[in-house]
Amino acid sequence: MSLVRAALPYLGDNLLLLADLCSALESDMRGRVLLRASESNKLERILAHGTDRGGYPGDRRWRHDPSVAHEDVIFATTPAHNQAAEADPARSSSLKKFAGIDEPLLLIYEADALEQLRPTEFRFRHAYAKLAALRAVVPVTKLALPDGWFRAAEGMAYRDLVERALTGPSRGQIVEVGCWLGRSTSYIAGLCRARKARLSCVDTWSGSSDRFDLGYRERLATRDIEAEFRQHLTALGVDAECIRRPSVAAAARFEPGAVDLVFLDASHDRAAVSADIHAWLPCLRSGGILAGHDFAEDHPGVVAAVEQAAATLECPIQRGPGSLWWVQA
C-alpha cells in the first residue's frame, strides 16, 4: 500500500481535521501514532528517508544535545496533544502549524518507533528504520469555510450526531435540509466519505418562507449559490446527492425507515418547520435522529414546532452547543 493517502480538506478548523483524519485512517489508528506537519515540496525527501529532515548535506546536531543527530529528531504531537492544544492558544501543536504552510502534508508515524526527548520532540529509536516508522503521508488541501450561521462548536456536535447515527443498525443514509453554501455540510462531509454513507443535500436555493427571505434573495440575485455549493462539495471530495426541491417534496422520495439522520435548517417559521418534521419523521429508522439548528429565542417558530413534535412523540428534546437540537425517534 502506498504511503501517500488521499488528500484531506482543511477548512481552518484543527479539531475537524483531526476528526476527519481519525475517520479516514480508522483501521490504521488503533496503535499510538504521532503527527507531524510538513510541506508538499519535501515529499520526495520524505519518501526517500522517512523524514523531511533527512538528505541534507553536512552533520547538523540537535540543539538540545550535540550528541544527537539533527535528522534523528522530529517535532511531533499525539492526537490527544492536538486536541488539548486547541483549548490553549499558547500551546503549539502539529496541526496549528498548517496555518503558516501553503501546501501542507501531514506525516503519521508509529509512536513506538520513536522515543520522547522533550514534550514535542522525538528521536527515532533506529536511525536506519525511519521509513518503516512512517505509516502514512496525507496531503492537505486548504479550503475556505463557506459563509454561514454555523459555529465551530455546533459543527463538531453535528458531526458527533452523524457519527452516532452511523453506528449500530445504520443504513448509511444522512439527509441535510437547508444547505445554502455548505458551511454545516463541511462538518459531516469527511465522516460520510470515510464511512461510505450516502449524503443527500436538500435545498431550493431560491429563498425561504420566513423573515429571512429578502436577505436570501438579495444574495441570489448576484450569485449562483447552488453552483458554489456544488463546487464546495467537489472540493471536499464527497459524492453527495443534491436535491433541488422543497423539503416536504424531497422527503417523499425516501422510503419509510430508510434514513439514519435528518438535519433540518430550512425555513424557520413554525408552519414550515412543523411540515418538515411531519414529512421527515416517517423516513427515519427506529432509533434514528431528527436534528436541527436555531432552537433559540430569536427563532420562536423553530422552538414551537420542535416542542410540539417532541410532546407528540413523547421524546425529550436534547440540546447541543449553541442552538442545536435533536430527538431520537
Instruction: Taking residues 40-57, report their average pLDDT.
Output: 92
76 and 156 in a single domain? The answer is: no
Residue-range definition of the domain harbouring residue 184: 152-328
Q: Which residues neighbour 274 within 8 Å (Cβ) at sequence distance 6 or greater?
A: 305, 308, 309
Are 275 and 313 in the same domain? yes
Same domain, yes or no, for 257 and 133? no
Residue 212 within a domain: yes
Pairwise CA distance, residues 45 & 56, whole Å: 9
| Rounded CA separation 61/146 (Å) | 45
Tell me how far the alpha carbon of residue 101 is from its chain's centroid: 20
Residue 180 lies in a domain: yes
Same domain, 179 and 39: no
* pLDDT at site 170: 83
The whole-angstrom separation of Cα 328 and Cα 315 is 7
Under 8 Å between Cβ of 12 and 145: yes
Q: What is the pLDDT of residues 184-229, one digit of tens each?
A: 999 999 999 999 999 999 999 999 998 988 998 999 999 999 999 9
* pLDDT at site 30: 59
In this structure, the answer to whether residues 187 and 137 fall within a common structural domain is: no
* Whether residue 277 sits in one domain with residue 226: yes
pLDDT over 70 for what percent of the chain? 98
Is residue 301 situated within a structural domain? yes
Q: Is residue 157 part of a domain?
A: yes
Is the same domain home to 80 and 224?
no
Give me 135's grid cell. Answer: 505509516
Q: Is the pLDDT of residue 26 over 80?
A: no
Q: Are residues 138 and 181 in the same domain?
A: no
246-290 residue pLDDT tens: 999 999 999 999 999 999 999 999 999 999 999 999 999 999 999
Query: Cell numbers 490504521 correspond to what residue?
Result: 28
CB atoms within 10 A of CB 9: 21
The answer to whether residue 2 sits within a structural domain is no
Residues contacting residue 35 through CB under 8 Å, at least 6 positions apart:
21, 76, 77, 78, 79, 82, 94, 95, 106, 107, 108, 109
Domain ends where: 114, 142, 170?
Answer: 142
Domain count, the chain: 2
Question: How does residue 24 score in pLDDT terms, banded at 50, 70 and 90?
Answer: confident
pLDDT at 221: 94
Report yes or no: 178 and 266 within 8 Å, Cβ to Cβ: yes
**Minimum mean pLDDT range among 23-37, 67-81, 110-124, 138-152:** 23-37
Residue 227 sits in the same domain as residue 117: no
| Burial zone of 6 (CB within 10 Å; 0-12 exposed, 13-18 middle, 19+ buried) | exposed
Residue 262 makes CB contacts below 8 A (sequence gap 6+) with 175, 176, 177, 280, 283, 284, 288, 289, 290, 291
Start-to-end CA distance of the chain, whole Å, equals 42
Degrees to nearest 5, angle at CA 120 with 118 and 122? 70
Whether residues 133 and 177 share a domain: the answer is no
| Interatomic CA distance for residues 66 and 80, integer angstroms | 30
pLDDT exceeding 90 applies to what percent of the chain? 89
Q: Does the residue 97 lie in any domain?
A: yes
pLDDT band at 133 (very low <50, low <70, confident <90, very high): very high
- Name the pLDDT band for 311 (thresholds 50, 70, 90): very high
Chain centroid to CA 147: how far?
Answer: 16
Residues 98 and 158 in one domain: no
pLDDT recorded at residue 29: 64
pTM for this prediction: 0.94
What pLDDT does 28 receive? Answer: 63
Residues for the chain: how many in total? 329
CA separation for the pair 93, 77 (Å, rounded): 6
Q: Which residue, of 142, 169, 202, is where some domain finishes?
A: 142
pLDDT digits (tens, 9 = 90+) for 158-178: 999 999 999 988 889 999 999
Q: Measured at the alpha carbon of residue 303, what is the angle toward residues 301 and 306, in degrees to the nearest 5?
A: 105
Domain CATH number, residue 179: 3.40.50.150
Do the domain assignments include residue 315? Answer: yes
Residue 57 pLDDT: 78
126: number of Cβ within 10 Å: 11
Q: Is the pLDDT of residue 27 over 70?
A: no
Q: Does residue 1 sit within a domain? A: no
Please say which residue of 91, 109, 142 terminates a domain.
142
Are residues 133 and 164 located together in one domain of the fold?
Answer: no
What are the distances in angstroms from CA 244 to CA 106, 118, 194, 217, 226?
37, 54, 25, 16, 9
